Structure 1
């Protein structure tokens, strides 16, 4: 399953890594030493997050794409 969840990617000066957060999936985030590595790691973590939620019978939200914040 390839889901299209929004990722927010930024450089963390404190950690010295790129951080990729997935706001639609609680607690879902990854990091990487490059932008591409953070995205790749986040894609893997998204798949694992969804797989675990399904196995536990938990709700898996449909990807909404770009989120709007007020």
Structure 2
């Protein structure tokens, strides 16, 4: 049985937490955006998938008038 590992990756000032899953793949989240989580079969796929989750999180936050963390104000998701 594979050991589950959790590690952090920082890209463009944004902290991502990745967890390797025992059955394979990764769960990825953005701690500064509560509830922003996704998954992928590979590290690279996980990063691509979290971009959609970030975009959705930011859209809902702006529609609801919720505060958006400063590092996300002018974020270009293509740069992650």
Asked if TM exceeds 0.5, the reply is yes
Structure with larger Rg: 2
Structure showing greater relative contact order (alpha-carbon pairs closer than 8 Å, 6 or more residues apart): 1
| 1:8 equivalent in structure 2 | 17
* Structure 2 residue runs without a partner (length 5+): 1-11, 73-80
The superposition leaves residues 23-69 of structure 1 with CA deviations (integer Å, 9 ceiling, x where unpaired) of 000011110011111110011111110011001111111229xxxxx
Deviation at 1:4, TM superposition (A): 5.0
In terms of fraction of residues, the more helix-rich structure is: 2
Runs of 4 or more above 3 Å deviation: none
* Structure 1 residue runs without a partner (length 5+): 65-70
Give the total of aligned pairs: 61
Superposed, which structure 2 residues align to 1:1-70 within 5 Å?
5-13=14-22, 15-63=23-71
RMSD: 2.0
